[in-house]
Structure 1
Amino acid sequence: MAITLILLVLFVPAVTSKGSHSLSLHATYIKGNTLFPEYSYTLMLDDVVLGLFNSKTWTYVPRGNTTDEDNVIDPQHLHTVSKNMYDDFVERWIVMDGGNLTGSLQVHQKMVLCELLNNDKPGQMMTRSASKGLTTDELCYLDGKFYYQGTSYVTQQELEPYLELSKFFHENVYYPACINTLKNYLKKRGNQVNRKVKPRFKLIQKAKLDGESRVSCLATGFYPRHINLTLFRDGQPVSDHEITGGDLLPNDDGTYQMRKSLEISRADTHTYTCSVTHLSLDNKLDIYLEFDHSEPFKSLIPSVLIVLALVLVFGTGLIIYKCRRRRAVIASIKNDYSSACTSEENMDAAS
């Protein structure tokens, strides 16, 4: 279960403000018996993976490098950041777990992110740490001010010098280097992350076999990932507690999809619409409901045909069997009768 969590957290795109861009590093430290490297991280521009690192080779491997993108990263700076994060992981493991292994995996994670707003103004820088699947602390740097919150695993006296050191590195090393690297990467891969792909969408009602219906608003194939889907009933937004779904899911081609659904009765006479807003669309679009009457019966048709075919085959076989059986009985009777007649004729001839 822990391994699955690791993979999910590593590759979840960093969430930033609408229209902005982010450079983020997602790191994982594992102690215990596992096939995964002890220390690894993924560098991402928005939701695009730029490179991978693992402690088995202790090297950073660019991904999707088609130009001179390697020049964007300062190797010495990347090594410094990587080493500092690794040392922090080791320290956390010693403090929180006592440096001991109890047979289960000990997992610590960290995400470092800086943001560039849509007006090309530097935004926030955030460092978030997690252990055993739970967030432990978060440090945010914005407009020259620091904000910290978390469940401290050390005393306040021990925490203060750690925070002072973190603030110093964020303000003087991490933040300026991250923003500069982010700007340079946008020059290299701007077309890739700034592309706009319009969503394909529909609002459809499907009848179910239990007599109920499901109204679903589906948008797929869009990029970037920011999208707003809102279901309306008679012009009023449907309450969130009535809606299922709404998760942003990736497609194989690098685009995204989202679905929101609502269960209603078959006799529902309300009017339903779905409102869609996305960066690729000039205006908000309203989609009107389409009713698919045949949907629940489509799945029944093949089953019914199969049953009818089996009945037909079985019935035909039974009829053929009975006919052949009857013919065999009649033939047997004729043979017995013929044999009896022959015996009588032989007896008469002998007398």
Structure 2
Amino acid sequence: IEVETQFPKFSYITTLDDITVGYYNSETYFPEGNTTKEDDVIDSDYIKGINDYMYNSFVRRSALLRQHNQNDIFLTGLNVYQTLVVCELLELDKPGKMLTKDPAGGCTTDELCYFNNHFTYTATVNITQEVLKPHLEEFKQKYEKFYHKVCIDTLRNYLKKRQNEVNRKEKPRVRFIQKANSDSGGICLSCLATGFYPSHINLTLFRDGQPVADHEITGGDLLPNADGTYQMRKSMEISAADKHKYTCSVTHLSLDNKLDVTLGNELLQIQKGSDKVLMILI
């Protein structure tokens, strides 16, 4: 059953680490970032070679799963099929593993991993074991002789052109904030690190030199900023009479040393409804 939607019939996004480098919308491939006309042609031609195969693969999987329908996720008129393809380069430019994960209707059906000429296949929905496994050997051959090489070559191509973006380091701006909580009568302490890249960061709250227990802390999610950097905030609530010393400790690839921001006892004497902020910009 064909259903009209506002979405492209077939689309994908290409990323280098967490940087979007291109988008395909069923008809055109759009390189993103600082590219030349020559790069645009190379990228389009390079990736166009797998567009038809990927789309036809979706169509074949859809037909097979519908033909052997045993699950409600394949009964609706509108079905969404997705594929996540990941390949990696290790140190010394050595090809690492390549992983393909296929969901249908929001549920992962199967995964295929290729590394050091060895395949690992996992079917997470019973129907895929019966329907797709007979086609597995053919797919493995395409994987080994075509997919893996194309993915690694594409990765090297983008890495060569975008290495300055991938390897850049942005230092975090750290704020340790305290705010009176009018509902509880206590104080909310928040440590915010923002504007950093790459995304991995260690942000820890200490009380008198000892890590605060996880169950006392809220937040800690890694969130993206509009400029391509990241932020993380961790918070906890203390009583207004608390006399302990609290420290926010941050380690990141852009910092030569660990950064510690401390709220001493004198900063905890705040008036109801007021904020005090200790900010370090580096």
C-alpha contact (below 8 Å) 1:72/1:184 kept by paired residues:
no
Quick one: which amino acid aligns to residue 172 of structure 1? Answer: K
For 2:188, the equivalent position in structure 1 comes to 214
Match among 19, 35, 39 for residue 69 of structure 1: 39
Change (3 A) 1:66 1:156: closer
Structure 1 runs, 4 residues or longer, greater than 6 Å off? none
C-alpha contact (below 8 Å) 1:50/1:62 kept by paired residues:
yes
Quick one: which amino acid aligns to residue 207 of structure 2? Answer: R
C-alpha contact (below 8 Å) 2:14/2:20 kept by paired residues:
yes
1:39: how far off?
A: 1.0
For 2:273, the equivalent position in structure 1 comes to 296
Match among 38, 47, 53 for residue 78 of structure 1: 47
Q: Deviations over 1:292-350 (max 9, x none)?
A: 7257247xxxxxxxxxxxxxxxxxxxxxxxxxxxxxxxxxxxxxxxxxxxxxxxxxxxx
C-alpha contact (below 8 Å) 2:15/2:22 kept by paired residues:
yes
Change (3 A) 1:130 1:296: farther
Quick one: which amino acid aligns to residue 197 of structure 1? Answer: E
Change (3 A) 1:132 1:289: farther
The alignment covers a number of residue pairs equal to: 265
Q: Does 1:108 align with 2:85?
A: no
Quick one: which amino acid aligns to residue 79 of structure 2? Answer: Q
Range with greater deviation from structure 2 (189-198 or 127-136): 127-136
For 2:16, the equivalent position in structure 1 comes to 45
For 2:280, the equivalent position in structure 1 comes to none
For 2:105, the equivalent position in structure 1 comes to 132
Q: Distance in 2 between matches of 1:188 and 1:155?
A: 39
Change (3 A) 1:275 1:42: same
C-alpha contact (below 8 Å) 2:221/2:232 kept by paired residues:
yes
C-alpha contact (below 8 Å) 2:186/2:237 kept by paired residues:
yes
Match among 152, 156, 159 for residue 129 of structure 2: 156
Q: Does 1:282 align with 2:222?
A: no
Match among 168, 183, 201 for residue 141 of structure 2: 168
With a CA cutoff of 8 Å and minimum separation of 6, indicate the structure with the bigger relative contact order. Answer: 2
Structure having the higher Rg: 1
C-alpha contact (below 8 Å) 2:110/2:128 kept by paired residues:
no
Unaligned segments of structure 2, at least 5 residues = 276-282
Quick one: which amino acid aligns to residue 39 of structure 2? Answer: E
For 1:339, the equivalent position in structure 2 comes to none
Change (3 A) 1:119 1:92: same
For 1:19, the equivalent position in structure 2 comes to none
**TM-score, with length taken from structure 2:** 0.81
Change (3 A) 1:34 1:158: closer
Q: Distance in 1 between matches of 2:119 and 2:213?
A: 36
C-alpha contact (below 8 Å) 1:273/1:286 kept by paired residues:
yes
Q: Deviations over 1:17-66 (max 9, x none)?
A: xxxxxxxxxxxxx96342111111111112222221112xx221222243
For 2:222, the equivalent position in structure 1 comes to 248
Write 1 or 2 for the structure with the bigger share of helix. Answer: 1
For 2:3, the equivalent position in structure 1 comes to 32
Quick one: which amino acid aligns to residue 122 of structure 1? Answer: P
C-alpha contact (below 8 Å) 1:32/1:101 kept by paired residues:
no
**TM-score, with length taken from structure 1:** 0.67
Change (3 A) 1:135 1:245: farther
Q: Distance in 1 between matches of 2:151 and 2:179?
A: 49
Match among 180, 190, 204 for residue 153 of structure 2: 180
For 2:170, the equivalent position in structure 1 comes to 197
Unaligned segments of structure 1, at least 5 residues = 1-29, 299-351
RMSD of aligned Cα (Å): 2.8
The DSSP-based 3-state class of the residue aligned with 2:221 is: coil
Q: Percent identity?
A: 57
Quick one: which amino acid aligns to residue 235 of structure 1? Answer: G
For 1:305, the equivalent position in structure 2 comes to none
Q: Deviations over 1:136-159 (max 9, x none)?
A: 322222222222334135263543
The DSSP-based 3-state class of the residue aligned with 1:106 is: coil
C-alpha contact (below 8 Å) 1:126/1:138 kept by paired residues:
yes
For 2:235, the equivalent position in structure 1 comes to 261
Q: Distance in 2 between matches of 1:212 and 1:85?
A: 57
